[in-house]
Chain A
Amino acid sequence: LSDVTILLTAILSLIGSCEAIVTHLETVTADFIDRLITQVQALVDGQLLVGIESLLSSINKEAASRKSSSASTRSHGDPQLQYLLRINTRYTNKGEPLGALMIQRLLLKLLEHTCYISCQTTKHEQLGFLPLKGFKDRFSILSPTVLFGISELAESQIGSIEASADFLKFKTSPHQDLSLSLKATSLRLACITFICGYEVNINLPSVIKSILVDPTQMAHDDLGPACLDSLAAISMNCHEHASDLNRSLRNYIIHAHDPHSTNLSARVCIAAKRLAWCLSTISNDKIVSTLYSLVNVLTSAPSSTNERGATSLQPRTALSLINFDHRTVASSISLSLKTEDQRQQVFSNVVEAIAEIVYELKDEKIAELMISLLGQKFGRVNDGVDKSLVWGLAKISTIVKEKDYKRILKLHAKVRLDPATANTALTETVLSLFRSMLTIDHGCSSVHG
């Protein structure tokens, strides 16, 4: 067997076996994770990975020279090698080139899965990074040696990806998806050890904040949620980082934009849900002040361009209901937006996030307050906001009592009939909303009737 045949066969075999272990491993013996860490450390050794990449690049160069000349190559006359090289090309075209990054990702995923299995308290519980409730206690079961080993591994992986960050900004790179996926796994592992008290040499909150402001990384299906989950986990478990990280999360929700992304709305909802978890570990006042500052973003449009004249809200009655001191309300967030599209994206994010937070908290008084605040925004900002408000209130309506549900319906009716807000597009939105509401098992049959 030639060198490349040995290498590619071993990588393919590793892919298959790691997939099987992740799918079928249900319990682990006491020393399995210990020995696994030692093996993983040996397999992701820098020199070994450089050797693998250099061998693969030499064969790629040969393949390129074969195209340009009739020079003989290693694969000439070796059907097995030719077959493996074709497979290698197929994997590369799929965005999963067989090589160092693939090996790193496989092994770190395997380690992550083993970690979750080791810390599983009941057999039927969901297996993964979430839930964040009881997070520290759950992962503190791991031995100090294991936690130290994981922290070293995660740190080295994040460090190596950060070192090639410029190169990975290009979406055309076949390595981009692999490396961002590896970064997601490493981030979750680093977060586990960080919360369990094993400080890594990298500044994890800073790494998380740098991902948060990079739309390319946040748009990644694995890294985006991993970043939001890690942020929430640290905020909820390490109180010294809570206010800084919560502020970053709130800013992400407001400013999240990516014209090329199709999953931005889903990402904002994930972020809002995590913000709700983080705030609920602090206090009700904090929840309300954050929601209030988000609502006030909707009035941030310059009055010169806003014929409807946005006004600042003072919902004293509602605030007094939950014993909230309105003097502590956060100041409105300054927006420096360039285009109308960006402004509209901010408004859409904010309404979506408020609805998600209220839905997640399921607190009647907070829901009542937000219905009052959002209701006052109808017809005050622009048509786009009115449409977002309809959908936002619809989401909130699924958790409120009949009395508040009727209030929302009245608001919707007012929007449709009031000359200041009524327009065809909004009426269509409300009608489609009512149609979708009829499918919700709300338990308010008299209202539906």
Chain B
Amino acid sequence: LLYEQYAPILQEILIAGDIDMEDTPSRQLGYSLAKTALQIGSLSPKLKVQSQALLIDYLEKVRRAFMDAIAYEGLRS
């Protein structure tokens, strides 16, 4: 589902040769989103602040995902 949803973006990145075609959709998506955020950030100083704040928020989301996974495992066992 994810792959289909983001196919146009991914296709563009694959054509640019930035990433390995055999890689997982999650990795490709992470790469394209971060790259896009940085590209948008290069347009103006204000956007730069916002895009870099977005990357920090993203790291926080990853941390929460880790915590959720561990908590889920704890509940399950």
- Residues of A participating in the B interface, judged by any CB pair closer than 8 Å: 2-4, 6-10, 12-21, 23-29, 32, 35-36, 39-40, 42-43, 48, 51-52, 54-55, 58, 84, 87
Contacts and interface: CB of A to CB of B under 8 A. Distances in A.
Chain B interface size range: 35 or more
B28 A51 contact: no
13 contacts: A3-B68, A10-B65, A12-B27, A16-B27, A17-B30, A20-B35, A25-B38, A39-B56, A39-B63, A52-B69, A54-B73, A58-B77, A84-B24
A7 to B, nearest CB: 4
B66 interface: yes
User: Which of A8, A51, A58, A84 is most buried by chain B, counting CB atoms within 10 A of its CB?
Assistant: A51
Contacts of B31: 16-17, 19-20
B26 A12 contact: yes
Contacts of B30: 12-17, 20
A13 to B, nearest CB: 4
Contacts of B34: 16-18, 20-21, 24
B69 A48 contact: no
A24 B38 contact: yes
Nearest to B30: A16
Contacts of A58: 73, 77
A7 B60 CA distance: 14
Residues of B contacting A: mostly:
helix
B69 A24 contact: no
Nearest to B39: A24
B62 interface: yes
Contacts of A12: 24, 26-27, 30
Given A16-B27, A16-B34, A52 B66 contact: yes
Nearest to A58: B73
A21 B55 contact: yes
Contacts of B27: 12-13, 15-16
Interface in B54-77: 55-56, 58-60, 62-63, 65-70, 72-73, 76-77
B11 interface: no
Contacts of B48: 27, 29
A376 B38 CA distance: 60
Contacts of B67: 48
Nearest to A45: B63
B28 A16 contact: yes
Contacts of A7: 65-66, 69-70
Given A2-B72, A39-B63, 20 more contacts: A4-B69, A6-B65, A7-B69, A7-B70, A10-B69, A12-B30, A13-B26, A16-B23, A16-B29, A16-B30, A16-B31, A17-B33, A17-B55, A17-B58, A20-B34, A20-B35, A23-B35, A26-B42, A36-B59, A39-B59
Given A7-B66, A24-B39, A43 B59 contact: yes
A281 B53 CA distance: 42
A16 B62 contact: no
Contacts of B66: 7, 10, 43, 48, 51-52
Contacts of B65: 6-7, 9-10
B68 to A, nearest CB: 6
Contact of B70 (A9, A36, A48, A84): A48
Nearest to B28: A16
A23 B13 CA distance: 14
A53 to B, nearest CB: 10
A33 B53 CA distance: 11
Interface in B1-59: 18-19, 23-24, 26-35, 38-39, 42, 48-49, 52-53, 55-56, 58-59
A7 B68 CA distance: 8
Contacts of A20: 30-35, 38
A16 B31 CA distance: 4
Nearest to B42: A26
B63 A43 contact: yes
